[in-house]
């Protein structure tokens, strides 16, 4: 099965819903899932970000959902926040979003 279709179905999304998230037409998602076309680099990254996997995983080039260095960071973050309250976790998420925004500028 096409990896984009697999990720979408595992997330319980319809093609229309994924298309809305990615700001593309539903027919684009359908074409990717039937291997008639491939998403461009920017959309591939958006798909990987949305499903929290690597671009290589989306492309079917690896069975590893995320690269080992990223997994190590994710594991460290999970350990760091495991005893925080929901409000504190939301604060961490806001801070990470802020850092991502600053990095893009």
Q: How confident is the model at residue 105 (pLDDT cuts 50, 70, 90)?
A: low
Residue 47: CB atoms within 10 A of its CB come to: 24
79 and 48 co-located in one domain: no
What are the tens digits of pLDDT across the range 26-58? Answer: 999 999 999 999 999 999 999 999 998 999 999
CA geometry: angle 37, 35, 46, nearest 5 deg: 65
Residue 18's domain comprises: 3-58
9 and 47 co-located in one domain: yes
13 and 53 co-located in one domain: yes
State pTM to two decimals: 0.65
Q: Is residue 78 part of a domain?
A: yes
**105 vs 94: CA distance, rounded Å:** 17
The reported pLDDT for the residue numbered 31 is: 97
7 and 36 co-located in one domain: yes
Q: To the nearest whole number, what is the mean pLDDT of the chain?
A: 90
Q: Is residue 92 part of a domain?
A: yes
Q: Is residue 63 part of a domain?
A: no
């Amino acid at each position: 099965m096409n990896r984009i279709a697999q990720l979408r179905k595992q997330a319980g999304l319809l093609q229309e819903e994924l298309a809305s998230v990615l700001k593309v037409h539903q027919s684009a998602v359908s074409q990717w899932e039937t291997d008639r076309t491939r998403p461009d680099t920017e959309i591939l990254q958006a798909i990987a970000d949305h499903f929290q996997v690597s671009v290589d995983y989306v492309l079917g080039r690896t069975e590893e959902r995320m690269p080992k260095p990223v997994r190590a960071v994710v594991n460290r973050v999970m350990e760091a926040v495991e005893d925080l309250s929901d409000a504190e976790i939301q604060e961490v998420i806001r801070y990470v979003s802020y850092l991502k925004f600053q990095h893009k500028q």
